[in-house]
Amino acid sequence: MVFIYIERKENMKEKTVFQMNVEEVLEKHQTSLKGLSSAEAKKRLEENGPNALAEGKKRSLFARLLDQFKDFMVIVLILAAVVAFAGAIIQNKPEELTEGLLIIAIVIINAILGVAQESKAEQALESIKKMSNPHTTVLRDGQEIIIDVADVVVGDIVVLHAGDYIPADIRIIESINLKTDESALTGEPIPVEKNIDSISQDEVALGDRFNIGYMSTVVTYGRGLAVVTSTGMQTEIGKIATMLSTTETELTPLQKTISKLGKTLAIIALFVVTIIFIIQILRGWFTVGVENIAWIEIFMSSIALAVAAIPEGLPAIITIVLAIGMQNLVKQRAIMRTLPAVETLGSTSIICSDKTGTLTQNVMTITETYLYDSTTKVTDIVNPTKELKMLIDYGVLCNDTKVQLSDEKKYIKIGDPTEIALTDLSIATHDNPIKVLETYPRVHELPFDSERKLMTTVHEIDGKYVSITKGAPDVLFAKATHVNNHGSIEKVTPAIIDTFTQQNQDFADQALRVLAIAYKVYEQKPEVLQLTHDDLENDLTILGLVGMIDPARPEVKDAIIETKNAGIITIMITGDHKNTAVAIATDLGILEQGHLAITGKELDRMSDEEFLEKLPQIRVYARVSPENKVRIVTAWKTTGKIVAMTGDGVNDAPSIKRADIGIAMGITGTEVAKGAADMILTDDNFATIVSAVKEGRTILSNIKKAIHFLLSCNIGEIITIFLGVTIGILLFPNEPQLQILTAAQILWVNLVTDSFMAIALGLEPKEPDVMNQPPRDNSKGVFADGLGKKVAWQGVLIGFITFLAFYIGYLIGDEGNKLQHAQTIGFMVLAISQLFHAFNVRSEKHSTFKLQPNKFLIYAFFGCLVLQLTTVFVPFIANNIFGVDDVLHWQWLDWLVVVGLSVTPLVVVELVKFIQNRCSNKLA
């Protein structure tokens, strides 16, 4: 009895999904071959949550705020504040507490700005991430719809095609030569063949479950249907997913460069500040004696100068500029997946573009048909002959296009543009493709693949079984033994093949894509047919050819001209016939006199040395393989060029990944291509790539402007103090402890002019000639092309006029108040001159008055100006915090000095630009 009980218990053991047959799987998950209803899917999504892996816990606002205080210079500032507080207490001077309070206030304001910038960048990246989420096709209410992978629920019927990501763990219920790449989960590099049969064993390794598909793996071949059995964290990937407590943000190459630059500048600045500190101490020693040296004031001003000399806010500013740039790119229909890609985009020098859908409209239209010795324009077809009707119908049958009628009685077609064109031919000749498909059902198929260049389907037609093969004419001609000569079946001869080959060439010369259609009739029943490639795709009867065209996008010609002006080379890479590619490339201006067009086979025959020698002249590659594409990208990269590569299919993924900027098509692109890409085009348009490059160049240019502005202003502050402690000894012998600016004044200027004006410069509109410059050379440093010299002399200019303002203020000040009057004028000139200087930085060669207005810079200018004036006009702030003169009793001469010297940098730089442009025009 015990034995029988145990045996029954084992028999009652619930089957696993891979052990169930199709009917049992559907019943278990309460679904059907028509899929779930929309209402049921919504209910399950609410109950079980989205189909997504759990993300690591994000850092709290408080934690991110604390991070802002880990910076070395911020720590120095806090220590300076502590010293200021201690000094005020030791000296019993409560009024001097305000200086320490100001430093703390500045630290807090900077921290808040940093968190705000990080949050904005994070929000931008999250919005981009949502927009680039993968999609999948499912059956809902009996109809195919495309949804976000996150909306997939258990019981959904998923439609699978080559190139699709598998959105969840699934049980295969229909397989047409279906294969998947499970290397991401199992490490097995060879694609796994899938079928619908149940597995009897209890314990089966993941890699041996041939009826199961796994989340995040890829369909590499064939097509099929599957029912979703697990989602999110319940999937096999979910079970082994690593739980991250924090999300690491990758620094861009430019951010790393700036971080390294900041450390270098910190060392230099601290060295200079130390020298200034020593000079001030020695000066006090010899003039007032050691006991009377204002140690705390000198120390505080030195610390403030050190902080002001280092652009500690630059990394945060770069992050927010890049993030805002990503958002701007989205508006231009280009989704960037990472911040580093935005940088690289601006340096692009080679664009390797697919033809179909990117340079053209991706709306294939059949314009010509050919039966043996007879060409007919589609527009002339009224009453098609039997053979022509046969050609049209066979094009519909050997076709994976999904055709439905909408409520408005319009055809809805989902599929490959080439196959849709065959369906459109049926509609254009007043046929009904849906009726054709229903009348002659498909009983077997061999899907198209890039190696065979053929597709074959088998149908029951008039009591016989007919295999229909369509594909590349040259491949199909080689497999034909007969030809349908207007109803008469004749053996193929070399002359007949020559006739078809010549017609294929004639169509190609007209930039038409050509497909050949052939067939084979079987008397046997399907069960005895050997449905293999060798049997189905040999001994064929040629029926005819169709010629179709995908017209160029009207905006592409202008975009190609723009790339030429920008020093960017456009390369066309296509699977089309060479003559078709040449015709389109010539029309668009890609292929010009002296350029070459080659095929993939010709490329295969070239050695690496020969290929590199001819590389600059080759502008068109036709009939290429995936390996060819990778080789082309690699060759250009070895020359030091920044390469962008477009693609949409599974076979494009390796070259997309290899390129500096991989670009996937958002409409026609497979999820594999999108996953490998750095940028996704939501409109599949080449012109969008050019717009994105323009935006990328603008972003890089604006970051350089922020660097230019911050460093020149910081140099100005150092020069001001340096002149005060060196030349000041000679000019102001009666001021033994002379300070050009107080610590509070230095810190305030650094706060007011740095962040707001630099961010505003990061939002500068495109310069008019941004696409008339050669691509940026990534090997050059930040200060290349004269930027370092401009930063240096403009910084010296700001420092000199500030010191001059101090000197004039001292001369015209009243006796007994000369030093405070001079400090106030110097303080005002240093701050306001930097605000005006921001307008100089808008362009290295164009006058700021001829550029498109930057409303953000104007708002920042007036906002900062009001803040600066507040420091001198509000008595409490002026007297207790900044210790400035009473400006309400100033004479007109005082204001003339402030205004005149503050605008001097703008006047001088504008004059230099004018002279340089005049000289350049004369040389040109």
Reported as a pLDDT band with limits 50, 70 and 90, residue 456 is: very high
Q: Are residues 756 and 809 in the same domain?
A: yes
Burial label for 144, CB within 10 Å (0-12, 13-18, 19+), is middle
How far is 481 from 593, CA to CA, in rounded Å? 42
Q: Are residues 659 and 646 in the same domain?
A: yes
> What is the pLDDT at residue 96?
57
189: pLDDT strictly greater than 60: no
Which of the pair, 13 or 733, is modelled with greater confidence?
733
pLDDT digits (tens, 9 = 90+) for 339-369: 677 778 888 999 998 887 788 776 788 999 9
Residue 272 lies in a domain: no
How far is 460 from 354, CA to CA, in rounded Å? 38
> What is the pLDDT at residue 1?
37
- With b meaning 16 or more CB within 10 Å and e meaning fewer, what string describes 681-706? bbbbbbbbbbbbbbbbbbbbbbbbbb
pLDDT digits (tens, 9 = 90+) for 883-899: 888 888 888 999 999 99
Q: Are residues 220 and 318 in the same domain?
A: no
Lowest-confidence region among 129-133, 164-168, 558-562, 825-829:
129-133
Whole-Å CA distances, 254 to 262, 661, 699:
12, 16, 12
Extended strands (E) in 231-373: 334-336, 350-354, 365-371
Q: Are residues 574 and 533 in the same domain?
A: no
> What is the pLDDT at residue 596?
95
How large is the greatest C-alpha to C-alpha distance in the chain, in angstroms? 119
Q: Are residues 532 and 587 in the same domain?
A: no
For residues 596 and 571, the answer to whether their CB atoms sit within 8 Å is no
We report the CATH number of the domain holding residue 559 as 3.40.50.1000
- Strands 350-354 and 643-647 come out as parallel
> What is the pLDDT at residue 526?
59
Q: Of the ranges 24-28, 726-730, 833-837, which is most confident?
A: 833-837
Token code pair at residue 225: 């249907």
> Would you list the DSSP string of 40-83?
HHHHHHHHH--S-PPPPPPPPHHHHHHHTT-SHHHHHHHHHHHH
Residue 90 lies in a domain: no
Which residue carries 């040449």 as its tokens?
Answer: 582
How far is 400 from 657, CA to CA, in rounded Å? 29
> Which residue, of 502, 531, 549, is where some domain finishes?
549
pLDDT digits (tens, 9 = 90+) for 811-862: 998 877 888 899 999 999 999 999 999 999 999 889 999 999 999 999 999 9
Q: Are residues 675 and 790 in the same domain?
A: no
CB atoms within 10 A of CB 306: 23
Name 275's Cβ contacts closer than 8 Å, sequence gap at least 6.
none
Q: Mean pLDDT throughout 113-124?
A: 60
Q: Are residues 474 and 375 in the same domain?
A: yes
Q: What is the dihedral of CA 662, 668, 673, 677, to 10 degrees?
A: 30
Whole-Å CA distances, 27 to 19, 51, 90, 209, 225:
14, 21, 84, 20, 16
> Which residue, of 653, 684, 715, is where some domain finishes?
684
Find residue 890's DSSP bridge partners.
Answer: none
Helix, strand, coil % over all residues of the chain, rounded to 5: 55, 15, 30
Q: Which of 639, 649, 602, 912 is nearest to 775 (CA)?
A: 639
For residues 378 and 368, the answer to whether their CB atoms sit within 8 Å is yes
Residue 483, H or E segment: strand 480-485
Q: Mean pLDDT throughout 392-404?
A: 92
Give 783's Cβ-side CA count (13 Å radius).
10
Q: Provide the percentage of residues in the chain whose pLDDT is more than 70.
A: 82
8: pLDDT strictly greater than 50: no
How far is 306 from 301, CA to CA, in rounded Å? 9
Q: Are residues 638 and 721 in the same domain?
A: no
Reported as a pLDDT band with limits 50, 70 and 90, residue 57 is: low
Q: Mean pLDDT throughout 327-341?
A: 80
> Would you list the DSSP string of 201-221?
-S---GGG-TTEE-TT-EEEE
- With b meaning 16 or more CB within 10 Å and e meaning fewer, what string describes 402-413? bbeeeeeeebeb
User: What are the backbone angles phi and psi of residue 49, rounded to the nearest 5°?
Assistant: 85, 175
Residue 584 lies in a domain: yes
pLDDT digits (tens, 9 = 90+) for 190-205: 678 899 999 888 878 7
First to last CA, the chain: 106
Residue 122 lies in a domain: no
> Which residue, of 499, 522, 549, is where some domain finishes?
549
CB atoms within 10 A of CB 291: 5
Q: Are residues 644 and 710 in the same domain?
A: no
How far is 99 from 70, CA to CA, in rounded Å? 22
Q: Mean pLDDT throughout 718-742?
A: 78
Which of the pair, 618 or 52, is modelled with greater confidence?
618
612: pLDDT strictly greater than 90: yes
Name 888's Cβ contacts closer than 8 Å, sequence gap at least 6.
873
- Sequence letter at residue 15: K
Collapse the DSSP code of 360 into the 3-class scheme (helix H, G, I; strand E, B; otherwise coil) and give the result: strand
247: pLDDT strictly greater than 50: no
Residue 399, H or E segment: none
Q: Are residues 471 and 558 in the same domain?
A: no
Whole-Å CA distances, 582 to 195, 575, 618, 900:
43, 12, 11, 63
707: pLDDT strictly greater than 80: yes
How far is 487 from 503, CA to CA, in rounded Å? 20
Residue 62 lies in a domain: no
> What is the pLDDT at residue 268?
74
**Distance from the Cα of residue 321 to its chain's centroid:** 14
Lowest-confidence region among 117-121, 617-621, 918-922:
117-121
Token code pair at residue 850: 């001829």
Average pLDDT of the chain to the nearest whole number: 83
pLDDT digits (tens, 9 = 90+) for 744-802: 788 788 777 777 898 899 889 988 888 888 887 766 767 777 888 999 999 999 999 99
We report the CATH number of the domain holding residue 538 as 3.40.1110.10
Residue 717 lies in a domain: yes
Token code pair at residue 393: 């119908």
pLDDT digits (tens, 9 = 90+) for 65-102: 777 676 665 666 677 677 667 766 766 666 556 666 76
Residue 672 lies in a domain: yes
* Domain that includes residue 146, residue range: 16-53+135-240
Give 329's Cβ-side CA count (13 Å radius).
36
> What is the pLDDT at residue 316?
67
For residues 575 and 450, the answer to whether their CB atoms sit within 8 Å is yes
Report the number of distinct structural domains present in the chain. Answer: 4
Whole-Å CA distances, 705 to 164, 721, 757:
43, 25, 11
pLDDT digits (tens, 9 = 90+) for 629-666: 999 999 999 998 999 999 877 668 788 888 989 998 87
> What is the pLDDT at residue 611?
95
We report the CATH number of the domain holding residue 892 as 1.20.1110.10
Estimate the crossing angle of helix 904-923 against helix 818-840, to 10 degrees.
30
Collapse the DSSP code of 413 into the 3-class scheme (helix H, G, I; strand E, B; otherwise coil) and give the result: strand
Reported as a pLDDT band with limits 50, 70 and 90, residue 2 is: very low
We report the CATH number of the domain holding residue 222 as 2.70.150.10
Q: Which of 522, 527, 525, 526 is nearest to 540 (CA)?
A: 522
Q: Provide the percentage of residues in the chain whose pLDDT is more than 90.
A: 37
pLDDT digits (tens, 9 = 90+) for 486-539: 899 999 999 999 999 999 999 887 878 899 999 999 877 656 556 777 888 999
Q: Are residues 527 and 460 in the same domain?
A: yes
Residue 120 lies in a domain: no
Name 12's Cβ contacts closer than 8 Å, sequence gap at least 6.
none
Q: Are residues 722 and 868 in the same domain?
A: yes
Q: Is 373 a catalytic residue?
A: no
Reported as a pLDDT band with limits 50, 70 and 90, residue 3 is: very low
279: pLDDT strictly greater than 90: no
Q: Of the ranges 36-50, 545-559, 664-678, which is most confident?
A: 36-50
Extended strands (E) in 791-877: none
Find residue 140's DSSP bridge partners.
Answer: 36, 143
> Would you list the DSSP string of 502-522?
HHHHHHHHTT-EEEEEEEEEE
Token code pair at residue 54: 């759990």
How far is 841 from 753, CA to CA, in rounded Å? 13
Question: Of residues 151, 169, 181, 354, which has the active-site annotation?
Answer: 354
Token code pair at residue 719: 């020069």
For residues 310 and 73, the answer to whether their CB atoms sit within 8 Å is yes
> What is the pLDDT at residue 248?
45
